[in-house]
Structure 1
Amino acid sequence: MFPDRDAARIIGAAQARAAGASAAPGGHFADNLLAFTRLLRRTGLPLGPGEAIAGLEALTEIDLAERRQVHAALRAVMVHKREHFEMFDQAFQLFWRDPEAAAHAAAMALMDANKPKDEKPPPASRRLAEAMQENKPKPKLADEPPPQHDMTFTVSERERLSEMDFEAMSAAEIAEAKQEIKRLVLPLDERRTRRFRPDPLGPVADLRATVRQSLRTGGEILDLARRRRITRPPPLVVLCDISGSMSRYAQIMLHFLHAVANDRDRVHTFLFGTRLTNVTRQLRHRDPEVAFEMISHIVPDWSGGTRIGESLDLFNRQWGKRVLGQGAVVLLITDGLDREGAKGLAEATGRLRGSCRRLIWLNPLLRFAGFQPKSQGIRAMLPHVDDFRPVHNLNSLRDLVASLSERHGAQRGRMAA
């Protein structure tokens, strides 16, 4: 799993230092740390050999008898995003507190299943309990009959996953949802452009090409050249909110946008929280993990605050004329909760709507049956959007794909250049 030379050196140093600390009798602290790294990876945190080696190196620089130092050192080198702090803290407290943590996690998960819906722990706790149980081998009886595969409820299981909220999914369910997202195809309705292409069966006669062909026969016209208008999908521009309230949905939507960006051309993606970042080039990378790693290095405000009005105004001034031509369709993905209230939000949204052919607002708050547009930001933006849709599960993404392929509601705007 790790480079032999570096791993031997680092693990040896960590074990030598751990041997003299009361927190790690017997010198097994480094081995436990590797098990802790695998646990975090099973919960969904993007950890690899580099983070594990960095954690082992950090332990050689601190006093292992001080629990707070160990926690701070490991979190500093193993966690790269703020939204992963909660999962790391829970895993650290559970893993390093009790050697029988796996059994306790199973008991907690069983008790949580019987609790009322409003008393259940957050999804992070459930994913942690599942990860603690995932690596535990199951006893197998000697005369156990061969397994029977019952496919009766297969369709129901897929329907349950399709209707489940992204926020409530476990790590395994999120992985399944990402695989389903890769299969989604975005067939934007094709629009006629002003450009033509040669076509012997085209409906329009091409006089210039006809005269050019006649020069080969001494000026005698033997056949009329014909042409047809070029049709192509309009550009797709995505503005995605990555603030703290949208972090889980933004992660899932990035997988959807990565699949779309690698399936068609003219897809422009922008992320915004307290500032606006263009990630179009990064999302074009074929490998999603590489693409998201590149995005993490250029987006400084993930899971921070939200300035929707300022971000939309900056997009209109710096990027609007570059990417909103040719009948572009805009997807605005945000919950509409702006830290600045509704300051400048109506004007920026109105200008954005006037520059595109269709503005679709995707809001995860619509998953609630009793949703009411009470916040100032939502009330300021609603009059300027063509479509207001939820985006919280796989079914909502499938409905979005179907909506983008329809022609109704998309007839306004001039012919694409």
Structure 2
Amino acid sequence: MSAADTPAARKPGDRLALNLMHFARALRAAGLPVGPGKLLEAIEAVEAVGLGNRADFYWALHAVLVTRHDQSELFDQAFHVFWRNPDILKRMMAMMLPTVRTEATTNQPEMSQRVADALREAAPGVEAPEKTEIELEASFTVSAAERLQSKDFETMTAAEMAEAKRMLARIALPVAEATTRRFRPDPSGPRVDPRATLRRMLRAGGDLTDLARRRRRTRPPPLVVLCDISGSMTRYSRMLLHFMHAVTNDRDRVHSFVFGTRLTNITRHLRHKDVDVAVDAVSQAVADWSGGTRIGSALRSFNRVWARRVLGQGAIVLLITDGLDRDAGEGLADEADRLHKSCRRLVWLNPLLRWEGFAPKSSGIRALLPHVDDFRAAHSLNSLAELADVLSREGPRRHEGMRRWLKEAAG
């Protein structure tokens, strides 16, 4: 190697391009769609804004490399770690090293496991150690698929999230069929069909014939999904959008809405067969992603604008939110009560139920609980599979397990 090819002899611009290349690799490993074209655009953006201001440098890369709202958090963590923010770097190192977590560290912001894995793999100048193959007896161990099904969405790596999204695409949500006002012919039906009987008699020339019978038609009721996309739900709303897309393309009469500080109808966007195109369309249509939460205001908009259009024929409503309301539950109880009376069944899915010590203490949760029929977790593939099992059979309007939650909320 000549002297001109040594690292010390490289131009500053060459070193910057090399660092940007490694940064792009880290983002791609963390799950962001960053290709060679994006890298060239990032280099041009940095050359345009210069390196004199760290904020300008950050937002120049953000404008080029981030295409959806749900990618902002991963980009932010990866940027501050790669370009040396000491606080976040310590948290990443703590994830890489076998240290013991203490109570004093539980209140600190969590570092994304995907970012830690990506930066560990994409670190420039570090060769990965040779892997030693070890044979293990796995007769009585849990399979990787089973572990993934029970793993929290928040703790998944990029590879695990990609596999979980593929598994979500195969989830079906069979809802128990409900009787309608229309009838269908049935020789053993419980009701006599006068018109069909008269037609038979006319065809027989007025002679007596067997009575025609009928029974009511059954059809799965409409499904309405209201999903919270506020800042506290960001890490779950990404996966839940894939769940909503799978449900929308698996059955008819599914209406999907998202809300933070306002309500947005995303039904049309989720009907696209390609999930990436659908999620990208949703991110462009929603203006309040990862912001505050105004559950009462969102339910008020739904009750006054959309309820009469989509809640006909005994619709089932899935309300996906952690119940943390910026307005401290103001007006939430009245709107939840109106929604509950307008639908066949109101099911609340709350990711906070993954904690064993969960208690309904916030005002938003206390306002919602008395007006829902079922209260379940929504943090893993298993929890969503349990939801499919619950909705596939007809049960009581108010679930028995709700009594405990209502007692805790009242106490």
TM above 0.5, yes or no, is yes
What's the offset of the Cα at 1:269?
0.9
Residue number in structure 1 paired with 2:255 = 268
Matched, 1:184 2:178: no
Instruction: Choose 37-46 or 184-193, whichever is displaced more.
Output: 37-46
Q: Distance in 1 between matches of 2:187 and 2:33?
A: 55
Instruction: Choose 320-329 or 107-116, whichever is displaced more.
Output: 107-116
Measured against aligned partners, the alpha-carbon deviations of 1:381-417 in whole angstroms (never above 9, x if no partner) come to 11111111121222221221111123221499xxxxx
Contact 2:78 2:119 in 1 (8 A): no
Opposite residue 41 of structure 1, the aligned amino acid is: R
Residue number in structure 2 paired with 1:235 = 222
Matched, 1:316 2:269: no
Contact 1:330 1:358 in 2 (8 A): yes
Residue number in structure 2 paired with 1:158 = 145
Structure 1 pair 199–47 and aligned structure 2 pair: CA distance change class (3 A): farther
What's the offset of the Cα at 1:272?
0.6
Opposite residue 259 of structure 2, the aligned amino acid is: F
Opposite residue 320 of structure 2, the aligned amino acid is: I
Matched, 1:374 2:382: no
Aligned-pair Cα RMSD in Å: 3.3
Which of 158, 168, 177 in structure 1 is aligned with 2:155? 168
Opposite residue 75 of structure 1, the aligned amino acid is: H
Contact 1:235 1:267 in 2 (8 A): yes
Residue number in structure 1 paired with 2:350 = 363
Q: What percentage of residue pairs aligned between the two structures are identical?
A: 55
Residue number in structure 2 paired with 1:10 = none
Residue number in structure 1 paired with 2:118 = 131
Matched, 1:352 2:339: yes
Structure 1 pair 41–232 and aligned structure 2 pair: CA distance change class (3 A): same
Which of 18, 40, 43 in structure 1 is aligned with 2:27? 40
Contact 2:303 2:339 in 1 (8 A): yes
Structure 1 pair 149–175 and aligned structure 2 pair: CA distance change class (3 A): farther
Opposite residue 26 of structure 2, the aligned amino acid is: L
TM-score, scaled to structure 2: 0.81
Opposite residue 239 of structure 2, the aligned amino acid is: I
Contact 1:309 1:343 in 2 (8 A): yes
Residue number in structure 2 paired with 1:397 = 384
Structure 1 pair 106–383 and aligned structure 2 pair: CA distance change class (3 A): closer
Which of 5, 12, 16 in structure 2 is aligned with 1:25? 12
Structure 1 pair 68–331 and aligned structure 2 pair: CA distance change class (3 A): closer
Structure 1 pair 204–312 and aligned structure 2 pair: CA distance change class (3 A): same
Measured against aligned partners, the alpha-carbon deviations of 1:228-258 in whole angstroms (never above 9, x if no partner) come to 3211111111111111001111111111111
Structure 1 pair 385–123 and aligned structure 2 pair: CA distance change class (3 A): same
Structure 1 pair 250–85 and aligned structure 2 pair: CA distance change class (3 A): closer
Matched, 1:302 2:289: yes
Q: Distance in 2 between matches of 1:348 and 1:106?
A: 43
SS where residue 180 of structure 2 aligns? Answer: strand
Which of 77, 94, 97 in structure 2 is aligned with 1:111? 97
SS where residue 155 of structure 1 aligns? Answer: coil
Contact 2:177 2:218 in 1 (8 A): yes
Residue number in structure 2 paired with 1:193 = 180
Opposite residue 282 of structure 1, the aligned amino acid is: H
Q: Distance in 1 between matches of 2:23 and 2:322?
A: 35
Contact 2:81 2:92 in 1 (8 A): no
Q: Distance in 2 between matches of 1:411 and 1:214?
A: 48
Residue number in structure 2 paired with 1:79 = 66
Which of 373, 382, 386 in structure 2 is aligned with 1:386? 373
Residue number in structure 1 paired with 2:237 = 250
SS where residue 337 of structure 1 aligns? Answer: coil
Instruction: Choose 344-353 or 374-383, whichever is displaced more.
Output: 374-383
Contact 2:374 2:398 in 1 (8 A): no
SS where residue 224 of structure 2 aligns? Answer: strand
Opposite residue 169 of structure 1, the aligned amino acid is: M
Measured against aligned partners, the alpha-carbon deviations of 1:344-393 in whole angstroms (never above 9, x if no partner) come to 11100000001011111111122222222111111111111111112122
Structure 1 pair 376–329 and aligned structure 2 pair: CA distance change class (3 A): same
Structure 1 pair 82–181 and aligned structure 2 pair: CA distance change class (3 A): closer
Opposite residue 258 of structure 1, the aligned amino acid is: H
Residue number in structure 2 paired with 1:8 = none
Opposite residue 168 of structure 1, the aligned amino acid is: T
User: Unmatched 5+ residue regions in structure 1?
Assistant: 1-21, 99-103, 413-417
Structure 1 pair 232–410 and aligned structure 2 pair: CA distance change class (3 A): farther
Opposite residue 349 of structure 2, the aligned amino acid is: L
User: Unmatched 5+ residue regions in structure 2?
Assistant: 1-8, 400-411
- Residues matched between the structures, number: 384
Contact 2:231 2:292 in 1 (8 A): yes
Q: Distance in 2 between matches of 1:82 and 1:246?
A: 13
What's the offset of the Cα at 1:215?
4.7
Measured against aligned partners, the alpha-carbon deviations of 1:9-48 in whole angstroms (never above 9, x if no partner) come to xxxxxxxxxxxxx995363544543442232121123445
Q: Distance in 2 between matches of 1:137 and 1:193?
A: 66
Contact 1:177 1:394 in 2 (8 A): yes
Matched, 1:407 2:391: no
SS where residue 298 of structure 2 aligns? Answer: helix
Which of 17, 29, 43 in structure 2 is aligned with 1:56? 43
What's the offset of the Cα at 1:225?
4.3
